[in-house]
Amino acid sequence: MTKAKRKRLIYNLVTYALVIAAYIILQNMIGAKTISRSLKGLLVPICAWIIMAVSLNLVIGFSGELSLGHAGFMSIGAYTGAIISGWLLAAFDMQDPTLRLVLAIAGGGIVAGIFGVLIGIPVLRLRGDYLAIVTLAFGEIIRNLVNVLYVGTADGQLHFAFLNKKLPADVTMLVDGAKGAVKIKPISTFTVGFVLVMITLIVVLNLVNSRAGRAIQATRDNRIAAESMGVSVTKYKMMAFVTAAVLAGMAGALYGLNSSTVVPTQFTFNQSINVLVFVVLGGLGNVLGSVISATFLTVLPEVLREFADYRMLVYAVVLILVMIFTNNPLIRSVFGRAVAPVKGLFRGKKNSVSGGEA
Amino acid sequence: MADIKKHRSDTKMVPMPTYSIVPERDVNEIPVLETRHLGIEFGGLKAVDDFNLTIGKTEIAGLIGPNGAGKTTVFNLLTKVYEPTSGAVLVNGKDLHGMSIVQASRLGIARTFQNIRLFDKMTVEENVRIGLHNQIRYDMFTGILRLPRYWKQEKYQHERAMELLDIFGMQDLADEQSGSLPYGAQRRLEIVRALATDPKLLLLDEPAAGMNPHETEELMENIAKIRDRFQIAILLIEHDMSLVMGVCEGICVLNFGKIIAKGTADEIQANPAVIEAYLGKRKEAEA
């Protein structure tokens, strides 16, 4: 095994191990009831934001396109998930919450993926700043569309209406315009969230280290050179964009089915920027970094609740300080030296294991 | 000049019906590249005009000319970065009209760039693997699910990449980030990457730029070696005349977008039009 490959393998294993360890510890805390209520309530959102950050990292970090409409895909997933779950319950009397959740997540991913293709076709013809602005616009379009969407279910049928609310009178409302998706039965669980995070990590990490993933990175580093090598730039940009949209849709369904209502204002431009902050803080192309920063920045506002009115101010200051310190070469090198012995230990162990195999 | 000629094969050059000469051994083969009255205008400025060139199947050809003569523009026309405003490009007898850069690459044209364009953030091996992109096949899901086909194809790709890096003795650098390589190594990596696409015609844009005489000498050997081993045609743009005269069989001189001379190295060196293009016209008084 070459040096670069071993380094990558260790990086991937550490990422998986960290997520699995966190899951086991938190599950034990839930079992022992030592977990605070506010943290317990955050577990599913943390999973959703990790998926959002990792999937956006695929677009920004690996494909090199600045997408500012990622929350739009999340809202599509959230709404689709709420509709599917409500419909399955009303029309088929499907009581099993886990099955409903899984179907809702799959549906959210598929619908978001379809929108990813539709949006990707015009958007990915643009480059750089133009692409960023157009994705931003698409995110807003999606939010405004769901703002006037009415969906109801009656006799096992789904009824859709736009703007003028002409649904039959006897329907059970699932999506009620600006009021959002209403009367959702919260069925998301931490375990399903954890599984979804693992799926996301496997998809992104394996994709990046495959033929398609290398092509995606090549189009980021040099478009003309990639084309000259016979790599179809549009195809691979699209692949990254749609994969990210599907994952965001799944995260949206998970997130939406965690509460009793989903409103369009939850998925504004600000939310896209939030995810962008996770990605940039964690490091472009750094999946483990995205996982850590999404977790940290989701928990931080809750921890800062005691600052009351100054909460967002403190949040912003912490953010600035973290950005400065993680990008300071001196601090990085000190940190690097601090973890070097641990790394060395790990490497020594790894070598003996691979030696044993040979 | 005797030792400098050692990399040049002493083949007889034969005239072709279309204004060009090719090595005798390639006469009965379809020329790997043929351009007919190729030209491009940028807002009224004819950057390249009436460019006719035929390159034999295994020829090493040179394209020279003063700065701004339009040499790189010719490369961009051949690789479809630009769409020509007049004329045609034929690769192995196939017209490139309306093709994209990717399609041209699949027909067998590979190139290096004057201002190096590596995939900076990827390793040396990954750069070569991108060159091999179209020689392995498995879809996205095979890659994500790590099916047996993934491991088989990846193994093949790795071995092939190492084999190609061996041409320039670069296997030891395989894990380095390509952007951090020294300049000369970056130029060599670009050639390896281009070779990885399994081209019929290799276009080298100033391969010796920034190299010292020793490295240039080595490069010259390697260019000849590559041709012999892969049996492909090579067209190179170069300002280093020792390299051009040393390795190129047919040479084409460009000035102000027009071909001013074509011939063997000896003919070009003696051509008054070429001397004038490079050194300027003699004043009447001196004549």
The percentage of residues in chain A with a pLDDT greater than 90, rounded to a whole number, is 55
User: Same domain for B150 and B218?
Assistant: no
User: Same domain for B230 and B136?
Assistant: no
Rounded-to-integer distance, Cα A75 and Cα A146, Å: 8
Total of domains in chain A: 1
Residue that is written with structure tokens 């279910």 in the block: A153
Q: Which chain B residues touch A214 with a CB distance below 8 Å?
A: 122, 126, 129-130, 133
> Whole-number mean pLDDT of chain B?
89
According to the model, what pLDDT value does residue B1 have?
42
Q: Which chain A residues touch B107 with a CB distance below 8 Å?
A: none
* Structure token pair of residue A231: 């790599």
According to the model, what pLDDT value does residue A2 have?
74
Mutate which of A16, A221, A234 to disrupt the B interface (most B C-beta within 10 Å)? A221
CATH number (domain holding residue B254):
3.40.50.300
The predicted-structure confidence for A153-182, as pLDDT tens digits, reads as follows 887 788 888 876 677 777 888 888 888 888
According to the model, what pLDDT value does residue A198 have?
97
The band of A350, judged by pLDDT with boundaries at 50, 70 and 90, is: very low
With CB atoms and an 8 Å threshold, state whether A4 touches B111: no
**Residue B286, in any domain of the structure:** no
Residue A250 belongs to what domain range? 3-327
**Residue B287, in any domain of the structure:** no
**Residue B207, in any domain of the structure:** yes
User: Same domain for B205 and B253?
Assistant: yes
Total of domains in chain B: 2
User: Same domain for B7 and B103?
Assistant: yes
User: Same domain for B10 and B89?
Assistant: yes
CATH number (domain holding residue A163):
1.10.3470
Instruction: Quote the DSSP letter at residue A61.
Output: I
pLDDT > 50? residue A356: no
Residue B206 belongs to what domain range? 3-108+199-279
The answer, for A6 touching chain B at a CB cutoff of 8 Å, is no
pLDDT > 90? residue B278: no
**Beta carbons of A183 and A158 less than 8 angstroms apart:** no
Q: Provide the whole-model pTM.
A: 0.88
The band of B159, judged by pLDDT with boundaries at 50, 70 and 90, is: very high
Rounded-to-integer distance, Cα B280 and Cα B287, Å: 13
The band of B105, judged by pLDDT with boundaries at 50, 70 and 90, is: very high
According to the model, what pLDDT value does residue A343 have?
64
**Residue B284, in any domain of the structure:** no
**Residue A347, in any domain of the structure:** no
Rounded-to-integer distance, Cα A247 and Cα A198, Å: 12
User: Same domain for B221 and B93?
Assistant: yes
The predicted-structure confidence for A226-240, as pLDDT tens digits, reads as follows 999 999 999 999 999
Q: Nearest CB to B140: which of A207, A209, A218?
A: A207
Please state the rounded mean pLDDT for residues A135-155.
Answer: 89
According to the model, what pLDDT value does residue A337 have?
78
The predicted-structure confidence for A317-345, as pLDDT tens digits, reads as follows 888 888 787 777 777 777 777 777 766 66
Shortest CA gap A30–chain B (Å): 32
What one-character-per-residue DSSP string does B51-103 give?
EEEEE-TT-EEEEE-STTSSHHHHHHHHTTSS--SEEEEEETTEE-TT--HHH
According to the model, what pLDDT value does residue A164 have?
67
**Beta carbons of A211 and A83 less than 8 angstroms apart:** no
User: Which residues 155-214 of chain B have a CB within 8 Å of chain A?
Assistant: 157, 174-175, 193-194, 196-197
Rg (CA), chain B: 20
**pLDDT: which is higher, A56 or A7:** A56
**Residue A308, in any domain of the structure:** yes
The predicted-structure confidence for B183-203, as pLDDT tens digits, reads as follows 889 999 999 999 999 999 999
According to the model, what pLDDT value does residue A85 have?
93
User: Same domain for B101 and B235?
Assistant: yes
In angstroms, the first-to-last Cα distance of chain A is: 11
Q: Which chain A residues touch B145 with a CB distance below 8 Å?
A: 206
* Beta bridge partner(s), residue B61: B235, B250
User: Same domain for B77 and B10?
Assistant: yes
Largest CA distance in chain A: 72
The answer, for A222 touching chain B at a CB cutoff of 8 Å, is yes
According to the model, what pLDDT value does residue A358 have?
32
**Beta carbons of A262 and A82 less than 8 angstroms apart:** yes
CB B287: neighbour CB atoms within 10 A?
A: 6
The predicted-structure confidence for B60-102, as pLDDT tens digits, reads as follows 999 999 988 999 999 999 999 999 999 999 999 899 999 999 9
**Domain finish residue from B160, B193, B226:** B193
* Structure token pair of residue A21: 């360890």
**Residue B113, in any domain of the structure:** no
User: Same domain for B145 and B84?
Assistant: no
The percentage of residues in chain A with a pLDDT greater than 70, rounded to a whole number, is 94
